[in-house]
Chains A and B, each alone.
Chain A
């Protein structure tokens, strides 16, 4: 009679960071992962748009004087700005923020957080340079000596800068997922596809943001990028879920905890957040709306789809970070 057998563990452990379950990261980290993902996505999209236009003549019309279209110009500014805000949250999450310099006294190849802290620094010079180059007409009007010299020196190499930035953007996007996925002690996070999931989610959120900002004649291309990214994201999240369900008892249990979980997050269960908000409202519905719009159907509120995509991306980060902590440690 196995049913009556007991296995009960009573422990005197107190530590609130790990009892009754891991409790180390609250809203700062998911928000940072979301902003970092968008920043990476914006850098990828704007860089690819620049290269496509310069090398192949594909994309919206340039504004002239070497400046690309408006959405690329705004996106290039937003990318380092959003990452900067995200890093502020990351900084505020540290238990001892004044020791942040310690990240930059060493390179630890086995620590994704070490790699990440370096890639965050590597991101800024070229991302800011790109933001300057695509907005050089406005900057030249301001006539600041140093800025003029930087632009003079680099303006003929914008394609190379954009090519490098496309890669750095991918690096940032993947890193936000890898940060979690190397923790083998946390079964939900311990999936190597999490890096890809966060990358495509970041790209689709970035495309949605550019779709919101772009003037009317530039919108179709971002709608197309967004729809494609959502497709890939749906496939990737499918693989993430199936990988968990078909995995060991640890992985299976953790995935069930996420997709059927009754743990309450801001008044709703994980299950509802995952299927209702993230999958349905954040991916499937906006995909349908963008598909219909591309097919010529008049959508009354065209901004609804991109806002839903952004919301879905934010919910994904919160869900993964929280559900990964509330599930029990690797056994």
Chain B
């Protein structure tokens, strides 16, 4: 057990139905302006007919342990929080957009109010002992908030024996989002 948290997510694509509830829950919870989003849903189809495979997944900021946005930020506005997440201090963000260019996941946008914006992993809710808005609304249990410094039994079982991947690990970012591949589905 570690006292220091390192929050991230385990996203089970086997059960994701791409309903976009996570996207709209987030927009409401975080007052995301119209035309922008902090999380989004991807549907990836691959293979060769008739042997096609499809994976639905929810994506967002990966709260990297080695985040290029933090490295590049000239004012410390983008920073690592105590709980292992990557946060933005709006009161010193100049909107220079270096973090948008630095992010290999294109997870950020410029809020029309003049600061870089992205998923905060609902830090304000985690502080109250709640789960993130997206996790709390997910109707199929695809989304799971996980403290990777203290992985609980439920998550261990969920991950056990599955093909689990992270995105663009070779970018050296140490991302904290893990997807359980749809290739784990029976018959895939």
Contact with B along A302-331 (1 / 0, CB 8 A): 000000000000000000000000000111
Q: Which of B19-63 contact A (CB under 8 A)?
A: 20, 23, 35-37, 40-49, 52, 59
**Is there a chain A Cβ closer than 8 Å to B7's Cβ?**
no
**Is there a chain A Cβ closer than 8 Å to B126's Cβ?**
no
Q: A108-B76, A111-B74 are in contact. Are A102 and B43 (CB under 8 A)?
A: no
Q: How far apart are the CA atoms of A103 and B96 in the complex, in Å? A: 10
B36 touches A15 (CB 8 A): yes
**Is there a chain A Cβ closer than 8 Å to B82's Cβ?**
no
Q: Which residues of A contact B11 (CB under 8 A)?
A: none
Q: How far apart are the CA atoms of A297 and B77 in the complex, in Å? A: 58
B74 touches A117 (CB 8 A): yes
Q: Which residues of A contact B20 (CB under 8 A)?
A: 12
**Is there a chain B Cβ closer than 8 Å to A16's Cβ?**
yes
Q: Which residues of A contact B68 (CB under 8 A)?
A: 183-185
Q: How far apart are the CA atoms of A103 and B95 in the complex, in Å? A: 11
Q: How far apart are the CA atoms of A329 and B171 in the complex, in Å? A: 11
Q: Which residues of A contact B35 (CB under 8 A)?
A: 14, 16
Q: Which of A118-160 contact B (CB under 8 A)?
A: none
Contact with B along A1-26 (1 / 0, CB 8 A): 10011111111111111110010110
Contact with B along A95-122 (1 / 0, CB 8 A): 1110110110110101111101100000
Contact with A along B104-121 (1 / 0, CB 8 A): 111011110011100000
B94 touches A100 (CB 8 A): yes
Q: Which residues of A contact B72 (CB under 8 A)?
A: 110-113, 182-183
Q: Which of A62-104 contact B (CB under 8 A)?
A: 93-97, 99-100, 102-103
Q: Which of B104-158 contact A (CB under 8 A)?
A: 104-106, 108-111, 114-116
**Is there a chain B Cβ closer than 8 Å to A257's Cβ?**
no
Q: Which residues of A contact B166 (CB under 8 A)?
A: none
**Is there a chain A Cβ closer than 8 Å to B102's Cβ?**
yes
Q: Which residues of B contact A8 (CB under 8 A)?
A: 44-46
Nearest CB in chain B to that of A7: its residue: B46
Q: How far apart are the CA atoms of A42 and B48 in the complex, in Å? A: 60
Q: How far apart are the CA atoms of A299 and B153 in the complex, in Å? A: 82
Q: A5-B46, A15-B109, A117-B74 are in contact. Are A185 and B104 (CB under 8 A)?
A: yes
Number of A-B contacts (CB under 8 A): 157
Q: A108-B74, A182-B72 are in contact. Are A6 and B48 (CB under 8 A)?
A: yes
Q: How far apart are the CA atoms of A300 and B43 in the complex, in Å? A: 63
B20 nearest CB across to chain A (Å): 6
Q: A16-B35, A185-B171 are in contact. Are A24 and B100 (CB under 8 A)?
A: yes
A1 nearest CB across to chain B (Å): 7
A94 touches B102 (CB 8 A): no
Q: A113-B72, A183-B72, A185-B68 are in contact. Are A99 and B92 (CB under 8 A)?
A: yes
**Is there a chain A Cβ closer than 8 Å to B164's Cβ?**
no
B171 nearest CB across to chain A (Å): 6
B45 touches A18 (CB 8 A): no
A5 touches B110 (CB 8 A): no
B92 touches A102 (CB 8 A): yes
**Is there a chain A Cβ closer than 8 Å to B17's Cβ?**
no
Of the candidates A9, A100, A106, the one whose C-beta lies within 8 Å of that of B42 is: A9
Q: Which residues of A contact B184 (CB under 8 A)?
A: none
Q: How far apart are the CA atoms of A316 and B42 in the complex, in Å? A: 36
Nearest CB in chain A to that of B109: its residue: A15
B96 touches A94 (CB 8 A): yes
B74 touches A12 (CB 8 A): no
Q: How far apart are the CA atoms of A274 and B103 in the complex, in Å? A: 27
B95 touches A94 (CB 8 A): yes
B171 touches A186 (CB 8 A): no
Nearest CB in chain A to that of B114: its residue: A96
Q: Which of A20-49 contact B (CB under 8 A)?
A: 22, 24-25
Contact with A along B81-99 (1 / 0, CB 8 A): 0000000000111111110
Q: Given A93-B97, A184-B171, 16 other A-B contacts at CB below 8 A?
A: A4-B49, A5-B46, A6-B48, A8-B45, A11-B43, A13-B40, A15-B36, A17-B100, A95-B96, A96-B94, A99-B93, A113-B96, A114-B74, A182-B72, A185-B104, A330-B168
Where the two chains meet, the residues of B that have a C-beta atom closer than 8 Å to any C-beta of A are 20, 23, 35-37, 40-49, 52, 59, 68, 71-77, 91-98, 100-106, 108-111, 114-116, 168, 171-172
